[in-house]
Structure 1
Amino acid sequence: MTNADRSALRASADSVLARLVGDPTGAARLREDQWRAIEALVADKRRALVVQRTGWGKSAVYFVATSLLRAQGSGPTVIVSPLLALMRNQVDAAARAGIRARTINSSNTEEWDTVQAEVAAGEVDVLLVSPERLNNPDFRDQVLPKLSASTGLLVVDEAHCISDWGHDFRPDYRRLRTMLTDLPPDVPVLATTATANARVTADVAEQLGTGGGEALVLRGALDRESLSLGVVQLPDAAHRLAWLADRLNDLPGSGIIYTLTVAAAEEVTTFLRQRGHTVSSYTGKTENSDRLQAEEDLLGNRVKALVATSALGMGFDKPDLGFVVHLGSPSSPIAYYQQVGRAGRGVEHAEVLLLPGKEDEAIWKYFASVAFPPEEQVRRTLDVLAQAGRPLSLPAMEPMVDLRRTRLEAMLKVLDVDGAVRRVKGGWTSTGQPWVYDAERYAWVAKQRAAEQQAMRDYATTTACRMEFLRLQLDDEEAVPCGRCDNCAGGRFTAEVSGAALDTARGELSRPGVEVDPRKMWPTGLAAVGVDLKGRIPLGEQASTGRALGRLSDIGWGNRLRPMFAAQAPDGPVPDAVVDAMVTVLADWARGPGGWASGDPDAPPRPAGVVTIASHSRPDLIGSLGRRIAEVGRMPLLGELGYAPETADQRIMPSNSAQRVRALHSAFIVGPELSAALAAADGPVLLVDDFMDSGWTLAVAARLLRRAGAKGVFPLVLAVQA
């Protein structure tokens, strides 16, 4: 392409940009670094990795490039994008530039056939695809080859997800390696991210080069001049909630309050609403329609804040977002930089505040526990598939593989890209190809995670510039003190809270009680491991809805309960304060809707006794809790559901549902004394245990008690996992 041709191309690119940003004067101009990326894609048909800060204009690069390539007769652009909110924003942005964009993702399954027909007819300029589609057998085998053959530009958004060195590695993204290999050599590829350090950048660039020559890497400075970073150290969860209630209206515009767990997001939302603030929650459990409404409300400034988990993450585009507050610290400074980058994109000043909590590290530890499994579990899975000789679904594999379903699926996706297994209709099959467990790499990734956690501890306590600290974590060679953060310019917020807000927060967080839903269906595939249970659990063998004092993942009772369940915590009698709280739970339960003291004519009878579950790890805690509940409730302690002889230590429980039921099925016995007491009791029993994770211990115990004559079983536990 001649210099004159490139000049004409640049003029066309600026014209597209003006339409994209809604500039009727046509005066908008691409920055030189944006033009360099577009030139590489359109004029030179290269593969490029753009690592630039949030708000730099990465989406402008691929929309302008799309328009220019389509004008040259190229096929549609395929954008692999990880979050639905991002897709919705980008479809709207494309329309402004006259670019026809459609999506294929989990929220619009009813439109897939229509969208694919429109793509085939040439009526679509941009197809946004969620990464999990890449691993769907029909899409992979029927749609992906056609896209690879016809696409004019492949865009990998949030490209750090490709790399398992990155903070947000997603196995579905690994399917892109296959697509990159299958693309014709003259099809340009653009990968974009705001959060890649040097190692991740090199890894992604290497993968981009697969089949397409060396990738061009365009990396810019990562400063965000509108952001003022700060940390407010507060003594406990009540003070953090009170601080939010007191200061939320002092923060500019509308914004996001990030929490580490779904439970915390719901707690914070409830509390702030009680204090008169207009907020909405946004988590992985939020219904899609409610998510859409929450996004629209924040975009329209009809709420002061969304209280969100990382489900909001990368995918929300509101240029005038005035603040981001983290109630709890993310485990990675790179993830933190990414989330705070949502703020201040179109305003001169935005506040970014971190309120770290004592519970943060326990939550980090939990999420770290779902890393890539040890080699013996991987080998066991490969053996099961090889021996099956047919496709196995996840439910069919669970009884034979000791992994939770989500972790099993993530592992299989990695093995699929590695060539050891293949996802087909009906499940997964073994390819018979040799596979090597890269223990050194997995150990190094785990070491990197630990280093990132230490970096977040250091960020919260550093006296140096906070923006410079984050930029250095991202290997930004241009990092210098920002002059804006609380360490550079002085803190803008104190740790003071009002007495009224603190009293209300303490009351809210000290309120005990969480409903415990019973298991109603047995896991599939139990017959394969010798357990004759399947389908719905008969009503006469089910537990009723129970109660727990709190969740380990919440910021109220969770903070008090976690030390009791720590690995090295000593066993001992239940503390008086915990007993008092459990009595409150019982009283609220009894008087609540459908409770035995509610006056409801259909309510169950009052519990007629207490049964405890034997424990290898906390026998004193559970035993004393059962005795105290029986004393306070003036009920007899009917006995203990004991272990059968030669039962394995239940402290080491399998991970997935089918394996747990297999282990528990023959673990307990109802002794003669307990059996007689159950038969004599004239009402249901309270089944007391210390902790509920999967719910299968309570389900199996309830079945045994009901079959032994119990009129009903009400589970009562100290803590639930989530």
Structure 2
Amino acid sequence: MSERDPATDRGAVRERAEAVLRRLAGEHARLRDDQWRAIEALVVDKRRVLCVQRTGWGKSAVYFVATALLRQSPATGPTVIVSPLLALMRNQVEAAARAGIRARTINSANLDEWDEITTEIHGGEVDVLLISPERLNNPDFRDTVLPKLAATTGLLVVDEAHCVSDWGHDFRPDYRRLRTFLANLPAGTPVLATTATANERVTTDVAEQLSGGEQTETLVLRGPLDRESLRLAVLELPTPAHRLGWLADHLDRLPGSGIVYTLTVAAATETADFLRSRGYAVASYTGQAEDADRRGAEQDLLDNKIKALIATSALGMGFDKPDLGFVVHLGAPPSPIAYYQQVGRAGRGVEHAEVLLLPGAEDQAIWRYFASLAFPPEEQVRSVLAALEQAGRPLSTQALEPIVDLRRARLELMLKVLDVDGAVKRVRGGWIATGEPWVYDVARLRRVAQARTAEQQAMREYTGAIGCRMEYLRSCLDDPGATPCGRCDRCAGPRFDAEVSAPALAAAQAFLGRPGVEVAPKKLWPTGLEAVGVPLRGKISPAEQALPGRAVGRLSDLGWGARLRALVGPDAADGPLPDDVASAVVEVLKAWAHGDGPWPTRPVGVVAVGSRQHPRLVASLAERIGTIGRLPLLGTVAPTGHAPSPGGGARGNSAQRVRALHGAFALPGELAAAMSGLSGPVLLVDDLVDSGWTMAIVARELRRAGAPAVLPLALAVAG
């Protein structure tokens, strides 16, 4: 009888796998059968495997154990893990070290280490390399590192694999670049893809992309998606003040520390500020915060220094705190699948965790706004392709902005999709057109949009579900084992009521009722304007700038948002300034005069920005300010010709906005003459500050005519 081959003898491989796991997770750790099945398929059978398993299932144990076993062969190259978050990468490097696995990461935060890490990879000194999906199309990495890396990869791991599919709730075009990586892998290289949030459609799509040209189909290992520690509940509260008041009353009753999710940056900031005013130790976490601040807030939560992190979806995939005791949502995400992913961060290492959804009437308006930022219309895409073809050289994203009216994030998303489709290519210095034919896939985009609409309807149905909430979420993920959980408010009755104490409600109403936000002045012109005939560049001269301004509130505010949307939103009827908003304007002016960052001297007059959408509203605002402040109305600056109305272009970029507004405003003769004789600043009033360029350009005209200073004042700020 021949001796057993230790590389293929499944019993021997499992014994070695268990030994690695004990180094990774402790002497009492044991592989579950489903984890072993994945490791066996990768190490022994060299399969491509897709694991659709609940959060906390132990996917990192699978790929670290598989890496350790595969690297025991000198001919096997390093494992490459494509992971979406730097925070997750840092955690993974530390976890790998516990198992004796040498892990490194190449990302935008360690550029000075790239050469050293590349040398280590080629020298066989790295067992695991973690990279972001964006790195796959960085020109230097793609052209110099990636080909050699793909040729020597021993195992490819795709984390959060639902991002590969545009049917998924968090599709990222850079993940599609994995198709090129997969195609360049040596034959028989095992591949592991993992996700906790994929329904049947997404699972099929990802599995097909993983299989590629391989003869064997992707092995799909799908487990039950129940989270036995989670107790789901929904509380219907009538207003944002009630929801904040409820949090103030109940946050200390929620177990341990946790996360409070909001739908917007403004809501996260307001909620954190209010809870701090009620004595709670909380921190905010949004995509607009500095990276160091976000990392500090994460660490404070991990160390239980704060009760809660008040976060937008920027606190995304990969955040791992096993003892997280609760997740509360102020506002519903637009998809049950996204909701399942976010609540799955709680209860990984504790017996019970509370999950509460407090939906708001404004949720659907927020969903519609984000849905409107999907892939652009065909004419905008074609204009970008034409510009790249005509340029004959690489164009940066900034250089393209004056050509197409898309904000930068949306423009970059479009370019990434075109890159994946082969129509453009990212090179040093920007983007070039490849000349390859490209088809605008109207039918697919329509089907994706319809899928998003269906997800929103499913989320509405979740809040009013009469059956088990966990069963409903599992059904949305096509979990065949979905059954009543016995723990949620529908199965076991509510654990929390919707009562809000009078003091907490009054405090929340007072907090949200405070008007006033700062409007930052523009100090730099957008890049690329000269290429489209606008002779402006660099810094805006201080002699032509506005001073910092004020507005009653943001359209996304929990407090003033709904009131202001009804007044200055795109569908709002024009009319005189309501008394309640006029009172708020007076409060803003009082605070501005005497509070932080006061105006230099009292204004000496009022100038209105002519509005195409709300002329009566703006005129009434200027008149009320003039009457209350005993200030003369100096005049109105209205756009000439066919310039977009102030506050328009909500989804465009700064370069397009300035291009459209440049030369569109001329001061009436009497108003221009009045500027040179003023002894103090003028108040420049408008209904809505969106991009901020209308205020900046009109202020520039007033300053050039002789105004000593300009103080912008608006009813609302977009965003």
- Structure 2 length-normalised TM: 0.97
Unaligned runs of 5+ in 2: none
- 1:713 is the counterpart of 2:718: no
Distance in 2 separating the partners of 1:118 and 1:375: 46
Distance in 1 separating the partners of 2:585 and 2:119: 59
Distance in 2 separating the partners of 1:346 and 1:613: 57
CA shift for structure 1 position 528: 1.7
Residues 697, 651 of structure 1: CA spacing in aligned structure 2 closer, same or farther, 3 A cutoff? closer
1:600 matched to which residue of 2?
A: none
Distance in 1 separating the partners of 2:286 and 2:113: 25
What CA deviation, in whole Å up to 9, does each residue of 1:337-388 have, x standing for no partner?
Answer: 0000001111111100001112211211221121001111111110000000
Which amino acid in structure 1 is aligned with residue 611 of structure 2? Answer: S
Distance in 2 separating the partners of 1:237 and 1:351: 21
1:533-612 equivalences under 5 Å are: 533-596=536-599, 604-612=600-608
CA contact (8 A) 1:22 1:96 kept: no
What CA deviation, in whole Å up to 9, does each residue of 1:249-308 have, x standing for no partner?
Answer: 111111111111111111111111111111111111222222222222222222111111
Percent identical pairs in the alignment equals 68
Which amino acid in structure 2 is aligned with residue 529 of structure 1? Answer: V
Q: 1:102 aligns with which of 74, 91, 104?
A: 104
1:62 matched to which residue of 2?
A: 63
Residues 457, 136 of structure 1: CA spacing in aligned structure 2 closer, same or farther, 3 A cutoff? same
2:672 matched to which residue of 1?
A: 675
- 1:621 is the counterpart of 2:624: no
CA contact (8 A) 1:185 1:211 kept: no
- 1:476 is the counterpart of 2:472: no
CA shift for structure 1 position 119: 2.0
Which amino acid in structure 2 is aligned with residue 658 of structure 1? Answer: A
CA shift for structure 1 position 221: 1.1
What CA deviation, in whole Å up to 9, does each residue of 1:370-424 have, x standing for no partner?
Answer: 1001111111110000000000011111111121111111111111111100000
Q: 1:431 aligns with which of 431, 434, 437?
A: 434
- Equivalent residue of 1:644, what SS? coil
CA shift for structure 1 position 498: 1.4
- 1:637 is the counterpart of 2:633: yes
CA shift for structure 1 position 507: 1.2
Structure 1, 252-261 or 107-116: larger mean CA deviation: 107-116
Residues 308, 263 of structure 1: CA spacing in aligned structure 2 closer, same or farther, 3 A cutoff? same
2:210 matched to which residue of 1?
A: 208
Distance in 1 separating the partners of 2:560 and 2:300: 31
- 1:275 is the counterpart of 2:278: yes
Which amino acid in structure 1 is aligned with residue 562 of structure 2? Answer: N
Which amino acid in structure 2 is aligned with residue 195 of structure 1? Answer: T
CA contact (8 A) 2:643 2:661 kept: no
CA shift for structure 1 position 315: 1.7
Distance in 2 separating the partners of 1:566 and 1:550: 13
Which amino acid in structure 2 is aligned with residue 12 of structure 1? Answer: R
- Equivalent residue of 2:401, what SS? helix
1:181 matched to which residue of 2?
A: 183
What CA deviation, in whole Å up to 9, does each residue of 1:581-630 have, x standing for no partner?
Answer: 1111111111123424xxxxxxx221111111111111111111111111
CA shift for structure 1 position 718: 1.0
Q: 1:352 aligns with which of 355, 359, 371?
A: 355
Distance in 2 separating the partners of 1:51 and 1:685: 61
1:5 matched to which residue of 2?
A: 9
Distance in 1 separating the partners of 2:120 and 2:511: 53
CA shift for structure 1 position 650: 5.7
- 1:660 is the counterpart of 2:662: no
Distance in 1 separating the partners of 2:614 and 2:314: 36
Residues 80, 515 of structure 1: CA spacing in aligned structure 2 closer, same or farther, 3 A cutoff? same
Q: 1:693 aligns with which of 690, 695, 700?
A: 690
Distance in 1 separating the partners of 2:15 and 2:644: 74
- 1:313 is the counterpart of 2:335: no
CA shift for structure 1 position 193: 0.1
CA shift for structure 1 position 211: 3.0
Residues 648, 563 of structure 1: CA spacing in aligned structure 2 closer, same or farther, 3 A cutoff? closer
1:21 matched to which residue of 2?
A: 25
CA contact (8 A) 1:103 1:127 kept: yes
Which amino acid in structure 1 is aligned with residue 38 of structure 2? Answer: A
Q: 1:456 aligns with which of 459, 463, 471?
A: 459
Distance in 2 separating the partners of 1:424 and 1:641: 45
- Equivalent residue of 1:185, what SS? coil
CA contact (8 A) 1:260 1:310 kept: yes
- Equivalent residue of 1:410, what SS? helix
Which amino acid in structure 2 is aligned with residue 9 of structure 1? Answer: V
Q: 1:392 aligns with which of 383, 392, 395?
A: 395
1:152 matched to which residue of 2?
A: 154
Which amino acid in structure 2 is aligned with residue 615 of structure 1? Answer: S
Distance in 1 separating the partners of 2:643 and 2:98: 67
Distance in 1 separating the partners of 2:107 and 2:274: 34
1:167 matched to which residue of 2?
A: 169
Structure 1, 672-681 or 312-321: larger mean CA deviation: 672-681
1:330-345 equivalences under 5 Å are: 330-345=333-348
Which amino acid in structure 2 is aligned with residue 13 of structure 1? Answer: A
- Equivalent residue of 1:13, what SS? helix
Distance in 1 separating the partners of 2:648 and 2:566: 19
- 1:37 is the counterpart of 2:33: no
- 1:294 is the counterpart of 2:297: yes
- 1:502 is the counterpart of 2:493: no
Unaligned runs of 5+ in 1: 597-603
Distance in 2 separating the partners of 1:707 and 1:345: 62
Aligned residues, how many? Answer: 712
CA shift for structure 1 position 687: 0.7
Which amino acid in structure 2 is aligned with residue 19 of structure 1? Answer: R
CA contact (8 A) 2:644 2:661 kept: no
Structure 1, 345-354 or 118-127: larger mean CA deviation: 118-127
CA shift for structure 1 position 227: 0.5
1:116-265 equivalences under 5 Å are: 116-213=118-215, 214-265=217-268
1:72 matched to which residue of 2?
A: 73
Distance in 1 separating the partners of 2:642 and 2:227: 62
CA contact (8 A) 1:89 1:316 kept: no
Distance in 1 separating the partners of 2:174 and 2:480: 31
Which amino acid in structure 1 is aligned with residue 199 of structure 2? Answer: N
Which amino acid in structure 2 is aligned with residue 449 of structure 1? Answer: R
Q: 2:700 aligns with which of 693, 699, 703?
A: 703
Distance in 1 separating the partners of 2:468 and 2:656: 50
1:601 matched to which residue of 2?
A: none
CA contact (8 A) 1:180 1:211 kept: no
What CA deviation, in whole Å up to 9, does each residue of 1:422-450 have, x standing for no partner?
Answer: 00000000000000110000011111111
Distance in 1 separating the partners of 2:594 and 2:267: 26
Distance in 1 separating the partners of 2:293 and 2:644: 45
CA contact (8 A) 1:47 1:212 kept: no
Distance in 1 separating the partners of 2:38 and 2:82: 18
CA shift for structure 1 position 95: 1.5
Structure 1, 236-245 or 672-681: larger mean CA deviation: 672-681
- Equivalent residue of 2:261, what SS? strand
- Structure 1 length-normalised TM: 0.97
Distance in 2 separating the partners of 1:287 and 1:124: 31
CA contact (8 A) 1:107 1:288 kept: no
Residues 16, 614 of structure 1: CA spacing in aligned structure 2 closer, same or farther, 3 A cutoff? same
What CA deviation, in whole Å up to 9, does each residue of 1:190-219 have, x standing for no partner?
Answer: 100000001100110011011333211111
Distance in 2 separating the partners of 1:110 and 1:309: 31
Distance in 1 separating the partners of 2:524 and 2:92: 41
Q: 1:111 aligns with which of 90, 113, 126?
A: 113
